[in-house]
């Protein structure tokens, strides 16, 4: 991380976990656990149905509530989807976009990721755009190509100013929920490569200002090392964001 240059964002992705009561109870724990003087921007992305309650629970704390997805159209016949306007009515300022689970199970493509991210920017919501290679791609040594292709397509048509308002999450698919973390060196290498790719799309100054997170089995034990890398500006955390003590430890690595 480099707190002088960039915002460091520690974000939890709760995925499809926690009903209403469980959400309230875990958020109460989180409000007490997360240090109030942290230099990190702290964010928890909860299932859409629990956003309203979650926003109430964290009021007055330094925890932000984010969404896990949002549609690109403003309104209309899109059963099951939510709009940026709906998020804005709860003052939600962040949404994960293009998580690999959405790409894998729900037909999300780079084109729809691009549209969803653009809709977020237009609504002044920060999109956390997820990219990452699968195991076969890593083993075939084509990680760089895969990442470059995703970044170029996901950010296609964005101005430098718009790119500066995005967050990129590098989440190698083979590391998600597997307990198999990328080494700090592997993660740093790809996060640096993402920054260089962004510089190619707009300019170096903008690229240096973009927050790039690592995600994939980040936990209380490995977070300090990952976050000590110069181009890793935070984490997108699944499993460990469902345990307040572990999440607090990760947030506490930001100094």
> By beta-carbon distance, which residue lies closest to ligand 13P?
238
Instruction: Answer for the pair 117, 159: CB distance below 8 angstroms, yes or no.
Output: no
Token pair for residue 88? 């804005």
Residue 21 CB, shortest distance to ligand 13P, in Å, is 22
Tell me the two tokens of residue 39: 């230099």
User: Of the listed pieces 76-84, 115-123, 190-198, 216-224, which binds ligand 13P according to CB under 6 A?
Assistant: 216-224
Residues 123-182 that bind ligand 13P (CB under 6 A): 171, 176-177
The CB-of-147 to ligand 13P minimum distance in angstroms stands at: 16
Q: Mark residue 124 as left, alpha or beta (left: phi above 0; alpha: psi -120 to 50; beta: remaining).
A: left
Q: Cβ distance 227 to 255 under 8 Å?
A: no
Q: Is 13 in the site for ligand 13P (CB under 6 A)?
A: yes
In the complex, least distance from residue 222 CB atom to ligand 13P, rounded to whole angstroms: 10
SS3 of 153-219 = HHCCCCCHHHHHCCEEEECCHHHCCCCCCCCHHHHHHHHHHHHHHHHHHCCHHHHHHCEEEEECCCC
User: Residue from 215, 222, 234, 246 that binds ligand 13P (CB under 6 A)?
Assistant: 215
Given candidates 202, 236, 251, 253, which one binds ligand 13P under the rule CB under 6 A? 236
Decide if residue 239 touches ligand 13P (CB under 6 A).
Answer: yes
Which stretches of the chain bind ligand 13P, using CB under 6 A? Answer: 13, 99, 171, 176-177, 215-218, 236-240
């Amino acid at each position: 991380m480099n707190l002088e240059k960039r915002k460091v964002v520690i974000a939890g992705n709760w995925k499809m976990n926690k009903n209403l009561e469980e959400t309230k109870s875990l958020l109460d724990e989180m409000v007490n656990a997360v240090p109030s003087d942290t230099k990190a921007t702290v964010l928890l992305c909860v299932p859409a149905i629990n956003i309203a309650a979650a926003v109430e629970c964290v009021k007055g704390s330094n925890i932000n509530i984010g969404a896990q997805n949002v549609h690109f159209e403003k309104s209309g016949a899109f059963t099951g989807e939510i709009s940026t306007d709906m998020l804005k009515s709860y003052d939600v300022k962040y949404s994960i976009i293009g998580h690999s689970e959405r790409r894998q199970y729900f037909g999300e493509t780079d084109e729809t990721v691009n549209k969803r991210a653009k809709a977020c920017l237009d609504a002044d919501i920060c999109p956390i755009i997820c990219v990452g290679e699968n195991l076969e791609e890593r083993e075939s040594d084509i990680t760089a190509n895969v990442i470059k292709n995703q970044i170029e397509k996901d950010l296609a048509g964005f101005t430098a100013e718009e790119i500066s308002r995005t967050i990129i999450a590098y989440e190698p698919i083979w590391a998600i929920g597997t307990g198999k973390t990328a080494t700090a060196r592997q993660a740093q290498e790809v996060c640096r490569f993402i920054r260089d790719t962004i510089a190619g799309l707009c300019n170096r100054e903008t690229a240096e200002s973009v927050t790039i997170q690592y995600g994939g089995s980040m936990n209380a034990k490995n977070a300090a090392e990952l976050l000590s890398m110069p181009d890793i500006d935070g984490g997108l955390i699944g499993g460990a964001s469902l345990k307040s003590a572990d999440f607090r430890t990760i947030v506490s690595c930001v100094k």
